[in-house]
Amino acid sequence: MTDPTLPPEHARLLRKLRSLGEVSPEEAGAIAALPMRSRSYLPHQPILLEGDRPEACGLIVEGFVHRYKDLAQGSRQILSFHVPGDIPDLLTMELKSLDHSLAAVTATRVAFIPHEALRALGAAHPRLWALLWRDTLVDGSIFREWMVNLGRRSAHARIAHLICELMVRFRSVGLTEGHAVESPLTQAELGDAVGLSTVHVNRVLQELRREGLVEWRGRRISTQDWEGLTQAGGFDPGYLHLSPETAWAAQ
């Protein structure tokens, strides 16, 4: 299925696109020919800042990235998390000036593909272009679910929901071991994602542990009771629009 001689960057992109839809051998060939330039980032290092006007898109090859906006009084809102295979700044193809920032959460490697090359790829292979469009639509779907989380769920449910999402998405890219993930997030970051203070995140997390829903020790999250956790968070993975196979792998 995957050509063993393919560089890891290209393999990662191919795998991502295949999770979104069919990719023909010719299309795969065109992907393999994409110019990419990798760069590494340390934990917490910014990748792009609000207002930047990059000329390339960054494919996450390894690591964990988040989008966020800083506001006035030092507070910030995390907008999304990204795992290997994601291209969080794909939007810079069309929206020249970035309206938010992007930073590494853990040590991360990003492969940059020039806009020009992507544009040529899309022109030559409209179906690949459609897959990229599809990816931005899934992105939007996740934003909408987060809006529900932020606007209408209790602290308890918000955190349960986010843990469910991370669990499923990590599994879909093979980053789980059984029911556990190596969580890259501090409680402060969790709070910035779900719109709660660090202190309150801590208390709610203790509650979730007491209820036997999750375990959170050091960097390691594991779900003790997946049924209960999804119920507590009102979590329904449909909004992630995972392909049947990937969703299956996520079980």
* Binding interface with DNA (CB under 7 A): 154-156, 186-188, 195-200, 202-206, 216, 218
Q: How far is the CB of 67 from a copy of itself (least distance, A)?
A: 8
User: Closest CB to a copy of itself among 51 and 174?
Assistant: 51
Q: What is the 3-state secondary structure (H, E, C) of 153-211?
A: CCHHHHHHHHHHHHHHHHHHCCCEECCEEECCCCHHHHHHHHCCCHHHHHHHHHHHHHC
Only segment of 52-60, 139-147, 164-172, 220-228 that touches a copy of itself (CB under 8 A): 139-147
Amino acid in the structure at residue 249: A
User: Closest CB to DNA among 131 and 204?
Assistant: 204
* Residues in 228-247 at the binding interface with a copy of itself, rule: CB under 8 A: 234, 238-239, 241
Site string for a copy of itself, 167-196 (x = CB under 8 A): ---------------------------xx-
* Residues in 104-123 at the binding interface with a copy of itself, rule: CB under 8 A: 122-123
Residue 103 binding a copy of itself, by CB under 8 A: no
146 touches, from a copy of itself, DNA, none (C-beta below 5 to 8 Å by class): a copy of itself
Residue 248 binding a copy of itself, by CB under 8 A: no
Residue 148 binding a copy of itself, by CB under 8 A: yes
Q: Which residues pair with 69 in a beta bridge?
A: 77
Residue 72 binding a copy of itself, by CB under 8 A: yes
143 touches, from a copy of itself, DNA, none (C-beta below 5 to 8 Å by class): a copy of itself
User: Closest CB to a copy of itself among 61 and 164?
Assistant: 164
Binding site for a copy of itself (CB under 8 A): 67, 69, 71-72, 75-77, 79, 91, 94-95, 97, 99-100, 122-123, 126, 129-130, 133-134, 136-141, 143-148, 150-153, 194-195, 234, 238-239, 241
